[in-house]
Structure 1
Amino acid sequence: MTEFARFELDGGGSVVVEVDEEPGVSRAARPGRVLRDARASFEKALTDVRDAASTALDQFRTMSRPPDEVELKFGVKLDAEAGAVIAKTGVQGQFEVKLRWRRNDLPIEEEVVEETED
């Protein structure tokens, strides 16, 4: 069964997002599609993920030799109950971090770091 969550927008209106079905919940009276209202606004749902990305970025900016470029990549999943969460791959949440240092006289140095969270 397809389920949708409606996230209100702070400026008015709403956005509807397809979400995973709640495990263990059977909706016998409403076959087909289900529309639920999300607990938080779309903006509020994304705020926590934005703050997490900002915190991770600050960690790399404060290195003893900070990189010239930082690329932080992760998936965001929207949930009617939890809001926005960092999506998992397999059994673990995943960040992909790419750090670059540039020197005028040398080619680009690149280090790729992958972090996973349980």
Structure 2
Amino acid sequence: MPVYENTQIINEQEITIAIEVDKLPSSPGPYQDLRDIKGLEKARDLFGDGLELAKNCATRVVNSIKEMGGTAKPDEFQVQFSIKLDTEVGAIIAKSSTEAQLQVTMTWKTDEEKQK
């Protein structure tokens, strides 16, 4: 698979992150369609798009947990998903075989376990 390199200046230091993608955006040329140029500009911060998607998902998880009441609310809650970085569409939740994957683990502790 091709690798897209995303380079940014962070804290006055140049940082490059290599991201494996299905297809690299085409390079601008004299006869290139304007849509391809916009796609290339959009692909510049794939990693940032992925982090933004993760942050939005985390916010929804926290809000969902806050809505749970009483004994239904777990003591621990974990959500695991994969983010696919695509040069054409940006960051999306990746699918596993034919469906999107979302793994949720909830844990309830007894009063004795909470005191440990």
Q: TM range, normalised to the smaller chain? A: 0.5 to 0.7
CA shift, 1:13, in A, is 2.6
Cα displacement string for residues 55-113 of structure 1 (whole angstroms, at most 9, x for unaligned residues): 1232023201321100101112222233322111122112111111112158xxxxxxx
Q: TM-score with structure 2 length normalisation?
A: 0.63
Matches within 5 A, 1:79-118: 79-105=86-112
Q: When the two structures are aligned, how many residues end up with a matched partner? A: 93
Q: Which residue of 1 aligns with 2:63?
A: 58
Q: Which residue of 1 aligns with 2:37?
A: none
For 1:6 and 1:64, how far apart are their aligned partners in 2? 45
- Identity in percent: 27
Higher helix share: 2
Instruction: Give yes or no for contact 2:50–2:83 (8 Å, CA) kept in 1.
Output: no
Q: TM-score with structure 1 length normalisation?
A: 0.62
RMSD in angstroms over aligned alpha carbons? 2.7
Higher strand share: 1
4+ residue runs over 4 A deviation = none
Question: Residue 102 of structure 1 aligns to a residue in which SS?
Answer: coil
Which 5+ residue runs of structure 2 have no aligned equivalent? 27-39
Once structures 1 and 2 are overlaid, which stretch shifts more, 45-54 or 69-78? 45-54
Q: Structure 1 residue aligned with 2:78, among 68, 71, 75?
A: 71
The structure-2 alpha-carbon separation of the partners of 1:58 and 1:74, relative to structure 1 and needing over 3 Å to count, comes to same
Instruction: Give yes or no for contact 1:8–1:41 (8 Å, CA) kept in 2.
Output: no
For 2:3 and 2:76, how far apart are their aligned partners in 1? 37
Which 5+ residue runs of structure 1 have no aligned equivalent? 26-35, 107-118
